[in-house]
Amino acid sequence: MTDADSAHHTADSAHHTADSASMKAESAKAAKKRRRREPPPDPEPLPGLVDAHTHLAACGGRDADSVRAILDHAERVGVGQVVTVADDMIDARWALDAAHCDDRAFAAVALHPTHAGELDDAARAELEQMAADPRVVAIGETGLDYYWPGKSESAAAPEVQKDAFAWHIDLAKRIGKPLMIHNREADHDLLDILAAEGSPDAVVMHCFSGDLTVARECIDRGYFLSFAGTVTFANAAELREAAHLVPDGQILVETDAPFLTPHPYRGQPNQSYCLPYSARLLADVRRTDEHAMAQTLGDNARRVYRLSLQ
């Protein structure tokens, strides 16, 4: 995994209280390290959910058995289907394999904005071919990431990202599948490019992270706002306000696993089975019954990705 893949949405900005006794600090540190490797406990089942964005390969699902184990676990807590998303070409092949070997997995393919420099003729041809596969339900994740350029040498420069983004927008329109957007610290350029190129019929703002102005603009344009574990974080009051604003027909929930594990398990390994934690938070924020919320979230994912048709 490259550094551009780790915590690619939200830098972990949790502040830790300094321990007064240094001896105590060492054992607390060891305990914390242990906890970070420990998977969160299973949530109470919440039926009807779809994980709208995960990375099965990065969660350890790289063959039929490991993919099945992850999806069996998710299904036990009510997450019946997942969309597994590619970052690069190797990942895209893995995503497609997973979608072909287990009918609960669907794929999204694209080059992640940080990998935009890899979009050569061969990659274009292969992505076009993959995009036409019935198990591929979206073009993504594509978009703009202004956080990593300058921090990671391997991350594509903004100008390179813009060209690749425009190409992916065009592909989504030609192939008639939803566009799944990654946006990190690039709100303005991202919305401008979408407006200039013309949005595809369905646009999903994955791991929505914008402020209320951006949320309103996306809602007005008819985009889907997909909320990840970040919406449960202690410092995410504005994100929860955005989650409150979204009309019932435009809200999705995702894990973005293995990243962004929901509170109070932040920093521990994330998988699709952790989705009910975020779904329950959304029900709470929107003052809705959790079962009704899960049905709405699942129905929206099944509708936008046309899962029943595959």
Binding residues: 53, 55, 141, 182, 206, 256
Amino acid at 246: V
Query: Toward Zn ion, which CB reaches closer, 283 or 301?
Result: 301
Residues 6+ apart with CB under 8 A from 73: 42, 271, 272, 273
Tokens of 78: 């009510």
CB of 168 to Zn ion, least distance (A): 13
Name the one residue in this structure whose structure tokens are 């983004």: 165
CB of 292 to Zn ion, least distance (A): 27
Query: Toward Zn ion, which CB reaches closer, 98 or 283?
Result: 98
Instruction: Select from 92-100, 178-186, 245-253, 301-309 the region that touches Zn ion (CB under 5 A).
Output: 178-186
Of the CA atoms within 13 Å of residue 7, those in its CB half-sphere come to 9
Radius of gyration of the chain (CA): 19
CB of 113 to Zn ion, least distance (A): 8
CB of 252 to Zn ion, least distance (A): 13
168 binds Zn ion (CB under 5 A): no
Query: Toward Zn ion, which CB reaches closer, 182 or 280?
Result: 182
* Distance separating alpha carbons of residues 281 and 251, to the nearest angstrom: 13
Query: Toward Zn ion, which CB reaches closer, 97 or 141?
Result: 141
Return the number of other C-beta atoms located less than 10 Å from residue 123's C-beta: 16
Q: Are strands 105-109 and 136-145 parallel, antiparallel or unpaired?
A: parallel
Spell out, one character per residue from 113 to 142, where the chain touches Zn ion: x when CB under 5 A holds, - when not.
----------------------------x-
Instruction: Select from 67-75, 127-135, 254-262, 279-287 the region that touches Zn ion (CB under 5 A).
Output: 254-262
CB of 121 to Zn ion, least distance (A): 25
Per the annotation, where are the binding residues for a divalent metal cation? 53, 55, 141, 182, 206, 256
Query: Toward Zn ion, which CB reaches closer, 283 or 304?
Result: 304
Tokens of 302: 């099944």
Residues touching Zn ion, count (CB under 5 A): 3
Query: Toward Zn ion, which CB reaches closer, 102 or 256?
Result: 256
Cα torsion 310, 205, 230, 300: sign: negative
* Distance separating alpha carbons of residues 111 and 86, to the nearest angstrom: 7
Residues 6+ apart with CB under 8 A from 31: none
Angle at 283 between CA 279 and CA 284, to 5 degrees: 115
Peptide bond into 262 cis (omega under 30): no
Query: Toward Zn ion, which CB reaches closer, 228 or 246?
Result: 228
> Which residue in the shown chain puts its C-beta closest to Zn ion?
182
Among 182, 240, 266, 286, interactor with Zn ion by CB under 5 A:
182
Instruction: Select from 56-64, 65-73, 177-185, 271-279 the region that touches Zn ion (CB under 5 A).
Output: 177-185
C-beta separation of 228 from 256 below 8 A: yes
256 binds Zn ion (CB under 5 A): yes
CB of 37 to Zn ion, least distance (A): 21
CB of 288 to Zn ion, least distance (A): 26
**What is the crossing angle of helices 158-175 and 187-197, to 10°?**
40
- Give the total residue count for the chain: 310
Instruction: Select from 64-72, 115-123, 234-242, 248-256 the region that touches Zn ion (CB under 5 A).
Output: 248-256
Tokens of 147: 């956080």
Judged by the rule CB under 5 A, the positions of this chain that interact with Zn ion are 141, 182, 256
